[in-house]
Amino acid sequence: MASNESVLSSAYLAVEYIDSLLPDNPLQLPFKYAWTYMLDNYTKFQIATWGSLIVHEAIYFLFCLPGFLFQFLPFMQRFKIQQDRPETWEGQWRCFKMLLFNHFFIQLPLICGTYYFTEFFSIPYDWDNMPRWYLLLAQCFGCAVIEDTWHYFLHRLLHHKRIYKYIHKVHHEFASPFGMQAEYAHPLETLILGTGFFIGIMVFCNHVILLWAWVTFRLLETIDVHSGYDIPLNPLHLIPFYAGARFHDFHHMNFVGNYASTFTWWDKLFNTDSQYNNFKTKGKTQEVKKTK
């Protein structure tokens, strides 16, 4: 155990040393100014509550915007996964109304508890205690691993034939997903699967910035896998074992298998990606036949 701690300590010091040699990030000073301005002009309750709500809404719809615009761009249709199922105005409007209900009547009450959470655990807001960027990345990755594990097992449970039609069927209303549909779900599902988001926060949070960094990463990931488009050179695919849009799109098309939210390891371990693997194999075989 002592040797492991020594290795981790040495790795941390090495990263600190390398970081000290790099030139100052040109975005750091404007971000520091904005952060200190926020601290000087708003209370912790306002920052934790209304700040978190604004971050969630702004990030969510900002990340949804590219996918929404893709439907109007003919040259992007080559990247659409289920090309025979285009988006409809009726479906998108229905999705948007459900989103507003979930965001303001389910998620906002939970967000209102953020201030009390940070006070109870003495989580700092100040600039000096803000973790470095690489620690934030590591914490977000840890949160993603925890959330993915929770999501896999609870999501799989929600597909049980005795309860599927009462809760999770709402999310599967769209067999061909689109970005805005990422949080389109029954209110109970929002609470059940959303719990996984908060477990990582309970484990890793040492500054309020992690709340916003983690929600940003989680929204980016879930909107990407629900986008319905497999965009080339997607930087998220640099993440080891990242599932991606094709992996989750198959879940919506097939309804069985591929239960994890972010990574592929749980589905591989329990062989719940077998139908997806067979589907990919058949697709490659058909492509080979076409080229002959």
> What does the pLDDT look like over 48-59, one tens digit per residue?
999 999 999 999
Q: What was the pLDDT predicted at 6?
A: 56
Arithmetic mean of pLDDT, 1-23: 48
pLDDT grade for 16, boundaries at 50, 70 and 90: low
Secondary structure (3-state) at 109 = helix
CA-based nearest residue to 183, from 251, 97, 254, 257: 97
Helices (runs of H) and strands (runs of E) counted in the chain: 13, 0
Other CB atoms within 10 A of residue 285 CB:
10
List the chain domain ranges: 43-73+87-287
pLDDT grade for 28, boundaries at 50, 70 and 90: confident
* Dihedrals phi, psi of 229, to nearest 5 degrees: -125, 135
Output DSSP code: residue 207.
S
Q: What is the pTM of this model?
A: 0.88
Q: What was the pLDDT predicted at 45?
A: 97
Whether the CB-CB separation of 241 and 265 falls below 8 Å is answered with: yes
